Structure formats: structure tokens, C-alpha cells
Amino acid sequence: MTRIGIIRHGSTEWNKEGRAQGSSDIPLNESGLLEAQQLANRLSKEQWDVIYTSPLSRAKTTAEAIASEMSDVEVLLDDRLREVNGGLIEGTTEEERVAKWGENWRELDLGMESKDQVFARILSLVQDVTDKHAGQNVLLVGHGAFIRHLFEVLLPTYKAETRLKNTSVSNIVQSDNTWQCELYNCTAHVDKQ
């Protein structure tokens, strides 16, 4: 049985401002650094064998904080974990998008990465991870839209009721070639503060 822990990176200034980040490399802000440390403290009490992370600094810094609290856990950069490319919307708020492109901006070709492209890299990543780490506990540190797509492709009947919070933990387990969700969007490490 392979277990994958899925982590959303800590907070950034663009999160705070409601700006689409996409593939823009926005660092953690002060709150995000604190959240990453709180998450690291939580995960240090659990057994994880390896950490894969997006190379974008907000995810990489979160992964490095986690690894700093664990002994002998390797951090591997994997570009397939990067956030969904937002094209022209990156750096904008919803209000700015509506002002610039109208209420139906989602229907326009604004250079965003397609769902099929994201699904293809998710499936490639998960296949590689499960092949290399069968029966292990693997952390994936990534981004909100990417994680929502991951759940959509691996657990199509799972209905996520809440928006993913920064440094949230979601655990999925593979058994008999199917995935089950054990934990979704848990931020107990931050909420108790």
C-alpha cells in the first residue's frame, strides 16, 4: 500500500492579495514561513520516506522546512508538480480580470495550461512515484490548482467541499489500483495556534 501526503505550500503575498500565481515564482511571506515550520513540526512526528516538490520557491521552501525536521529524508525537485500555468491571468485579481476581459474571462483563450496537459503530468508523476516508492509514504509539495486537478483525476468521485488552505495536508492511499482519501485539507497544525 502506497500512501501519498499532498501538501499545499505556505502563504505568499499574492495569496493574501487574491492574485493568481500560476507558474510565477512568488516566495513565501512571513506568515507562510511560520506555517511551513508549524507543518514541519507536525509531520516530524509521522513516518515519511521521501519528499517530492515543485521547483517554485513557495513549494520548495515549504518542502525544505519539512525536511529540516526529519532525518535522512531526501527532497527531490520535480517540474511536474509546478502550479498550473495561468497565462495572462498571472498576477491579477478576479476584479482586475473582469475589468480587463469581462465577466466571461474564463471562456477566453488567455494562454492558460489546459486541463488535459495538467492531467497528463499528474498521471506521469503519480505513476513514477508509485513505481519507485511502492509501499512507502511519499510527500508531494505543490500548489492549489494542481492539487485540485490531482484529486479530480485520481479520485473522480471524491467531492471536495472546501477550498485548499495553505500548508494543508491531504492523504491518499493506493490499494488494489484504486485511490482512497484518508484526510483532506487538514490544517490542525496552524488552526490550533
149 is in an annotated binding site: no
Distance CA 48, CA 104 (A): 43
Q: pLDDT band for position 193 (50/70/90)?
A: low
Nearest to 35 by CA among 141, 143, 193: 193
Q: Tell me how far CA of residue 130 lies from CA of 117, 123, 179, in angstroms.
A: 20, 11, 12
CA 33 to chain centre: 16
3-state secondary structure of 89: helix
- What SS3 string covers 7-41? EECCCEHHHHHCCCCCCCCCCECHHHHHHHHHHHH
Q: What is the mean pLDDT of the chain?
A: 96
Rounded to an integer, what distance in angstroms lies between the CA atom of residue 54 and that of residue 143? Answer: 8
48 and 137 Cβ atoms separated by less than 8 Å:
yes
Res 192 pLDDT > 80: no
% of the chain at pLDDT higher than 70: 99
Query: CA nearest 8: which of 188, 122, 181, 141?
Result: 141
Asked whether the beta carbons of 58 and 141 are under 8 A apart, the reply is: no
Nearest-angstrom CA–CA distance, 71 and 68: 8
Known binding residue 148? Answer is no
- Angle (CA) 48-145-117 rounded to 5° is 100
**Per-residue pLDDT tens digits for 70-123:** 989 999 999 999 999 999 999 999 999 999 999 999 999 999 999 999 999 999
Average pLDDT value for residue range 150-156: 95
Residue 111 is labelled as binding a ligand: no
Look up the CATH superfamily of 2-191: Phosphoglycerate mutase-like (3.40.50.1240)
Provide the annotated active-site residues: 9, 83
- Given a cut of 90, whether residue 161 has pLDDT beyond it is no
**What pLDDT was estimated at residue 89?**
97
